[in-house]
Structure 1
Amino acid sequence: MVPVPAPAAPAEVPYVVTRHTMLGPGELPPLTGEASQFTDIDFKVPEDVKRRANERGARNTRVNRDSSRARFKQWCESQGRIARPTTTTANVATYFGHLMEKGKDDGTKYSPDTLLAYCGRIVAWYPKGERPDGSLIREMIEDYRLEEYIPAGGEPEQSAGLTLKYLVKVLAAIDESTRIGRRDAAMLVLQYGMLYRAVEVTNLLVRHVRLDTDGVWVWTAKSKTRRSGKGRWRFIRDRPDLRITARVRAWLADLRELFEPTAGNQNPAGGESAYLPNKPLFRALTTLGNLKRRANAKVRGLFLTGRAVNEMVKARSAAADVSIINGLKVTSHSLRAGPNTDLAEADVPLAERNEAGDWHKDSTLSDDRYNRPDGSIDISKRDPFDAVPLWGAAAAQAPSSPPDEERPAP
């Protein structure tokens, strides 16, 4: 008896289906062969495009993101666990348990907010659909906040508020007969008047500052909370305790005398001027007051870093013996908390403080996080600091209002 051959297995249809495939009614997935129409050129990009893709996002965000992921990967390798190209929820949960238990190298505990930031960076490292369970990790962190961090005396890390009462002392201790002193004084008063973060004051260009008869106009191209959209001018009225106009004018005069250094000359007369519209307003200086060569500064180029501003603020405050205020350390962020505190104590409304500090119009941060008690051109030249009383010697020199009986009749 001749055996009947088994029916041939139906040929497998070479469809391409992934977890991201979306099909409409009656629509079939693409065939495998349809993908072969691509050649290597369809996957290649020029070097500058690849660089832009790799460097997308603010630099500080990239640095923090990459360092958080690198530390997780290093820890996994030390424990014989797998971090890449994919990982497990158990690996991530164990890592965060390790951070909560061990704490920082200096013996202090990680704040829950810091751990939440780490969690977001690590979870987002993996493709959607292959990510560890971030919700579980976040619940662990919130339990840690309530059961360990707060009972152990954990508090949000805050900078002191460098209010006018203290800022005038810092300015008085600066030797403004030197070019470095004039630069630092101008930077401090502008940062205070604009409630700037450190990186925002370093991003100012020469063309972003314009002197007026009674104050200074400052252009902010973007901020941390306003990354896109139109920039804005804001007016800072001059006041005797800060002398903003004089200090900015003095620094601009210095910039006009400075030229980009060469290998053989630190300030070559007739060289490339530092006082050009699209060059940074504040520059790194040598001890002699010349421009530093920035050939090796690959990240910020001619621009100062936020860290450099922070170190300057701390050094100037220490020299004035105000490095600690109400138990908090003075940092560059103190020039954001300080002016907001002055404005709040002068009863400037929250909405106006939000606009001055470039917070979102509905934000309560200026009340909740930036108060330390002890986009368009404003053609009216209204300055919220008009409501803040003068401090120091300037207050004594300011003319006082005459008694009622001496005032001229309206």
Structure 2
Amino acid sequence: MTSTATEATDDLDVIDAELVDEKQPAVLPVNAAPDHAASAYRLTRHTVLAEGELPPRVEEQSAFTARDFTVPDRVKKRIDERGARNTKVNRTSTRVRFESWCAAEGRVAQPTTTTANVAAYFGYLMETGKDQAGTKCSLDTLLAYLTRIVSGYPKGDRPDGSLVREMIEDYRLEEYIPAGCEKEQSAGLTLRYLVKVLDGIDEGTRIGRRDAAMLVLQYGMLYRSVEVTNLLVKQIRVDTDGVWVWTAKSKTRRKGKGRWRFIRDRADLQIVVRVRAWLADLRELCEPTEHDQNPTGGEPAYLPAKPLFRALTTLGNLKRRANATVRGLFLTGRAVNEMVKARAKAAGVSIINGLKVTSHSLRAGPNTDMAEALVPLAERNQAGDWTSDSTLADDVYNRPDGTIDVSKHDPLDAVPLFGAFEKEPDT
């Protein structure tokens, strides 16, 4: 009996096994083939399976070739240039400066870095100031730098930005504000001042008509400088009592739908007359060639997909833009800013209530005028393309004159001159 049992046991394959509770799911299906190489499963942390469903096997993975990872040059260019150009340039330069500083300090910046390295770098910026000139870095600059640096690393390897944000807040309270470095705002170019600027423009010239049309449109739309330069011919429609303007996107509505907005004509702005005058000029202009600034029968400037506002020569013809590789036919926001400052200076209103006039003044000005006319915040947010719950229109972009005497009255004027400057009494 014993011998028979032993012989029977010798004829069987002995398998090492572990007793498993039948109620617990098996790690691998019970009918898996014993050949491990043929039964390898492709599992990642993102694999999702239903009850009883088998994961994909390794051999089922797609057989990619080099073509599956290659895109045409034009597509690669789109990938590399995605996002706003200024954003890409600023992001890259910020990261390069951080990496250069780390290299000089013997610290590691790539392929990842530490929270301590980032904190040390921002401590360095706070202590040395901007561009080694001793000027303190602004809070906006520091916060922008932090976002650009931290976001440059993979999500799982990013340093702790919250620690540096606390450092920046302490810096604001303890160093930045006591040093008198509060952010300077642009003046509000309200109607009382904008009318003076418009009165000083010679609208008998093509440049004057362009600038006047740009100023009233920017005021009416509360546009940032780049937004007015981005307007196309087809995005403006003149009506009998005003103009319709289409905004494709804005700084706060980058991915939202475009929208039309109506600006009613006013006797003080004369929007209809000024826009019509500029459109008439645009119809007379053709793209310049090497030998002719306004060739007869040349390519017209007045085409739907071309910019509404163009760079002009002193004679009022279109400037050639062959070297304008960034903006092409479009004006830059900087050009608009310089135009606004020059026009304000010529009208004697380059400084209003102690603040400098810039292109941003045409955003603060109309908001201030509407606030003084008791236009609700919600309507002003919609007009200026701020988000519906934003309070910037009240907290940042409102520049009321209040009790400020714009005639430059100084109460010290009543005090007689002293000493050698004292006026001789009348005899």
TM interval, short-chain normalised? 0.7 to 0.9
CA distance in 2, matches of 1:179, 1:70: 44
Name the counterpart of 2:74: 48
CA shift for structure 1 position 34: 6.5
The answer as to 2:189 corresponding to 1:162 is yes
Name the counterpart of 1:335: 362
Secondary structure at the counterpart of residue 129 of structure 1: helix
CA shift for structure 1 position 241: 1.5
Q: How does 1:276-295 map to 2 (within 5 A)?
A: 276-295=303-322
CA distance in 1, matches of 2:266, 2:315: 30
CA shift for structure 1 position 61: 2.2
CA distance in 2, matches of 1:16, 1:84: 30
TM-score normalised per structure 1 = 0.82
CA distance in 2, matches of 1:157, 1:28: 64
Q: Partner amino acid for 2:65?
A: T
CA distance in 1, matches of 2:99, 2:43: 31
Name the counterpart of 2:296: 269
TM-score normalised per structure 2 = 0.79
Cα distance per residue 1:25-68 (max 9 Å; x no partner): 88898777776832222222222222222222223322322222
Alignment gaps of 5+ in structure 1: 1-10, 375-410
Q: How many matched pairs?
A: 364
Name the counterpart of 1:249: 276
Name the counterpart of 1:234: 261
Cα distance per residue 1:254-310 (max 9 Å; x no partner): 101110011111110110000111110000111221111112212211111111111
Change (3 A) 1:273 1:226: same
Change (3 A) 1:320 1:48: same
Change (3 A) 1:23 1:236: closer
* Max Rg structure: 2
Cα distance per residue 1:59-95 (max 9 Å; x no partner): 3322322222222223233333332322222221111
Q: Partner amino acid for 1:81?
A: R
CA shift for structure 1 position 187: 0.5
Cα distance per residue 1:313-351 (max 9 Å; x no partner): 112112222222222221111110111001001111111
Secondary structure at the counterpart of residue 156 of structure 2: coil
Name the counterpart of 1:94: 120
Name the counterpart of 2:88: 62
RCO higher in structure (CA 8 A, sep ≥6) = 1
Cα distance per residue 1:371-401 (max 9 Å; x no partner): 0110xxxxxxxxxxxxxxxxxxxxxxxxxxx
Name the counterpart of 2:352: 325
Change (3 A) 1:157 1:31: farther
Stretch deviating more after TM superposition (108-117 or 252-261): 108-117
Secondary structure at the counterpart of residue 272 of structure 1: coil
Change (3 A) 1:27 1:114: farther
Q: Partner amino acid for 2:349?
A: V
Report sequence identity in percent.
Answer: 77
Name the counterpart of 1:258: 285
RMSD of aligned alpha carbons:
2.4
CA distance in 1, matches of 2:163, 2:154: 18
Cα distance per residue 1:161-184 (max 9 Å; x no partner): 111111112112222221111111
The answer as to 2:153 corresponding to 1:122 is no
Name the counterpart of 1:199: 226
CA distance in 2, matches of 1:294, 1:89: 46
Secondary structure at the counterpart of residue 142 of structure 1: helix
The answer as to 2:216 corresponding to 1:189 is yes
